[in-house]
Structure 1
């Protein structure tokens, strides 16, 4: 895959940003507390997004209506730009804890704590998600994941045989199984891009569908603006949305319209879960 679409994910512009408070966190992460955010008592919902400019993800959070704060983590480059920092198992909990502390600073005296945590990624951001899932405490901490045309993988053995490497998929596979059984939630979207020499987002989606025993159903759904859904697979709280399109713009739609993908996911912050 060209680096250009990956860098574009960090530079998209939208309309005026939504109202709220923006705070710098550790390691270059950014915290956005929407103006309408209300903690449930002392509980704070957190959405962590990897690879995608806040000028897209902040309005998306407002559009989807989730009562959560947003932690954005962005790096230039391919998946290693995310896997390297998150290979430190302390980084993810540090970002979560710091986000809660910054919310708590607005209301001194209230012992705020984490309620639900969702992780979202676009494109190269999956490298960080993979590392997060390797740490048992972080795996347990995450309630939901949304992968927006984001899950790539190397091949096992001869690349010509196109066998998705199971060791690189182990964390995602376990999370998919937990989601299919209703304990977590996982939404995977994919385009029809075919990258050179490694598994596409379609192939990794196929891997997860097979792992959980779901069935892929062809559908024809027009999402508008030349975005056409071609298939769906669902089991429990695991869901795959497949889309046509092999070009860079087809890939970028999964970020530009990420609010629509978030809306399709089971609400990770719903009360009673």
Structure 2
């Protein structure tokens, strides 16, 4: 589910492509190895991003300065377009393994997987939700970033607006792990109110409750008409709330994804 329909498109968010190698992978995923990337003690740190054109996410990775490679996974459609492929529990580990092998082949070196960050924008959360259902994948993911990217159906009477606990289960467990410092998780939300299902604000509220943290109201101008209105943080769990109810407000969370990624702990991407 997502309030932003695919016809709005992401292609207009273009930047000059940064230097690096680009490799086609399984399921139409795209691997980007930035120029100057080097292994960290024989390991490859991987950023897997769901729903966001590489013309935005590749420059964002370079801007952040992580010594990591980027795997972009894009589909046309709403969250089902992302959840369906990842109902195959082997897809996530295959993408990780294929990434390491592709990088190793181009460096003529034996490499292993390092830290893994899974990031999503908008409808991409559907794939993340499926990954978290598999214990091995849950354990393998070191950090999750949800950029205005967690919607949820309601349980029971929709008037009560109670997000479905079955759909939130994996995210709730991950939020607890992050709050206790074993994982890292950043959730951003706009103020959009989608028709008939839980907004990114409502799902963020659910995770805040699960993490047992009290949000604080703030007023921070991020530029580009993106204004932060609240923050909640405990351990390595963070929620960043923003104003804005329109499609353009939603898209700003993708345009500023580098600044969201940068708020992950330095130890997560590794080897800067």
Give the structure-1-normalised TM-score: 0.96
Q: Distance in 1 between matches of 2:15 and 2:77?
A: 26
User: C-alpha distance in 1, partners of 2:114/2:172?
Assistant: 24
User: CA–CA distance in 2 between the matches of 1:269 and 1:3?
Assistant: 29
| 1:269 CA displacement | 1.6
Structure 1 residue 265: Cα displacement: 2.3
After TM superposition, the runs of 4+ consecutive aligned structure 1 residues lying more than 3 A away are: 1-4, 6-10
| Mapped pair 1:176 → 2:165 | no
Which residue number in structure 1 is paired with residue 89 of structure 2?
89
Query: Following the alignment from structure 1 to structure 2, what is the Cα–Cα distance between the partners of residues 250 and 172?
Result: 24
1:14 matched residue in structure 2 = 14
Deviations 1:152-180 (A, max 9, x none): 00101011110011110010000000000
3-state SS, counterpart of residue 119 of structure 1? strand
The structural deviation recorded for 1:111 is 1.9
CA shift for structure 1 position 263: 1.1
The alignment status of 1:124 with 2:123, answered yes or no, reads yes
2:138 alignment partner in structure 1? 139
Q: Tell me, in whole angstroms, the C-alpha distance in 2 between the residues paired with 1:107 and 1:32.
A: 14
Indicate yes or no: 2:214 matched with 1:215.
yes
- Deviation per residue, 1:33-67 (Å, 9 max, x gap): 00021111310000000000000000000000111
Shift of 1:15: 2.7
Counterpart CA distance in 2 for 1:215 and 1:270 is: 29
Residues 105 and 27 (structure 1), Cα distance of their counterparts in 2 relative to 1, 3 Å cut: same
Alpha-carbon separation, structure 2, partners of 1:94 and 1:9:
28
Query: Where does residue 196 of structure 1 map in the other structure?
Result: 195
Question: Unaligned 5+ residue runs, structure 2?
Answer: none
CA distance in 2, matches of 1:9, 1:142: 28
Distance 2:257 2:41 in 1: 29
Query: Deviation digits for residues 159-210 of structure 1, max 9, x if unmatched?
Result: 1110011110010000000000000000000000000000000000000000
Alignment map for 1:23-42 (pairs within 5 Å): 23-42=23-42
Match of 1:100 in 2: 100
Aligned mates of 2:85, 2:146 — CA distance in 1:
19
Call closer, same or farther: CA 1:2–1:199 in 2, change over 3 Å. closer
Aligned to 1:64: 64
Q: 1:22 to 1:221 in 2, by over 3 A?
A: same
CA contact (8 A) 1:218 1:231 kept: yes
- Displacement of 1:225: 2.0
* CA distance in 1 between partners of 2:242 and 2:57 (Å): 21
CA contact (8 A) 1:159 1:197 kept: yes
Contact in 1 for aligned 2:45/2:270 (Cα 8 Å): no
Structure 1 counterpart of 2:243: 244
**What SS class does the counterpart of residue 84 from structure 1 fall into?**
helix
Per the alignment, residue 264 of structure 1 pairs with 263
Contact 1:9 1:252 in 2 (8 A): no
Q: Compared with structure 1, are the counterparts of its residues 253 and 46 closer, same or farther at alpha carbon in structure 2 (3 Å cutoff)?
A: same
